[in-house]
Amino acid sequence: MGRKKFVVGNWKMNGSIEENQSLFDGLLSAKGVESVDIAVCVPSPYFFQARGALSGTAISWGAQNVSEQDSGAYTGEISAKMLVDLGAEIGLVGHSERRSMFGESSGLVGKKAMKLIEFGISPVVCVGETLDHRKSKKTLEVMSSQLKAVIEQIGLENLGNIVLAYEPVWAIGTGLTASPEQAQEVHSHLRQQVRLLDVEASRELRILYGGSVKPDNAEALFGQEDVDGGLIGGASLNLIDFLTICRAAVNATTH
């Protein structure tokens, strides 16, 4: 059995009760997408709404960030324990917006991933190079070092508990997308790095691509051997676009 494709919407700081509800309703009534896993990462004020709409359904939901701490005097933070309490199933860690705007290091990202694992939530660990890295041909080196820093925190025994997301920083929200070949090169490199540590985990590891995935480029990206789905920002806010991307994952599975 191959890896099941996974499409994750990252709503970022967008949404309202009304808009969210129509996205949830649309996702829940979609047909023909049963063969892929689908999740949405919603802003924290809407966790309760996501729980009410999605718990017990085929669509999972999760957070966009989590604290590396258990509990205590950390104003504004959200703990993994709270996420479990609410029924979240996944959590993004290390999104490039967190790394660049909030100064999160790969070490911290690894600690956050470990905290989610401790509480039984799947971390979607984001890695990605900047345009400068790519221009100076450092992409694969940067990928190895971001991945290594995370594995140092979670340990080899947890390699089977994570999802990776390759998100080239230069492609996020810019309308620029990695070509299917560029994505495949990095995904295969990431899988190879994991393979050196654990062959079985490397076979099962799902590696998502993120960065301006749209209805018209999704199928070509998802058709690459090591691209197991997508992390979708802007296009996840539009029901038709997001479902078209989910269907592209279905098509890429069957072809």
Residues that bind ligand PGA (CB under 6 A): 10, 167, 172-173, 210-213, 231-235
Distance, in Å, from the CA atom of 4 to the CA atom of 43, rounded to the nearest integer, reads: 26
For ligand PGA, which is the closer residue by CB, 42 or 232?
Answer: 232
- Pair of tokens at residue 144: 């190895």
Minimum distance from residue 213 beta carbon to ligand PGA (Å): 5
Q: Which are the catalytic amino acids? A: 95, 167
Minimum distance from residue 172 beta carbon to ligand PGA (Å): 4
The beta strand positions in 153-212, using DSSP E, are 163-166, 206-210
Distance, in Å, from the CA atom of 34 to the CA atom of 114, rounded to the nearest integer, reads: 30
Using Cβ positions, the residue closest to ligand PGA within the complex turns out to be 233
Q: Which CA distances in Å does 140 have to 92, 128, 184, 212? A: 22, 10, 12, 20
For ligand PGA, which is the closer residue by CB, 12 or 189?
Answer: 12
Minimum distance from residue 199 beta carbon to ligand PGA (Å): 29
Tell me if 164 sits within 8 A of 208, measured CB to CB: yes
For ligand PGA, which is the closer residue by CB, 90 or 231?
Answer: 231
For ligand PGA, which is the closer residue by CB, 41 or 78?
Answer: 41
Minimum distance from residue 96 beta carbon to ligand PGA (Å): 7
Neighbours of 105 (CB within 10 A): 12
Tell me if 9 sits within 8 A of 246, measured CB to CB: no
Minimum distance from residue 68 beta carbon to ligand PGA (Å): 21
Distance, in Å, from the CA atom of 109 to the CA atom of 88, rounded to the nearest integer, reads: 19
Helix crossing, 180-195 with 139-154: angle to 10°? 40
Q: How many residues are present in the chain?
A: 255
For ligand PGA, which is the closer residue by CB, 166 or 202?
Answer: 166
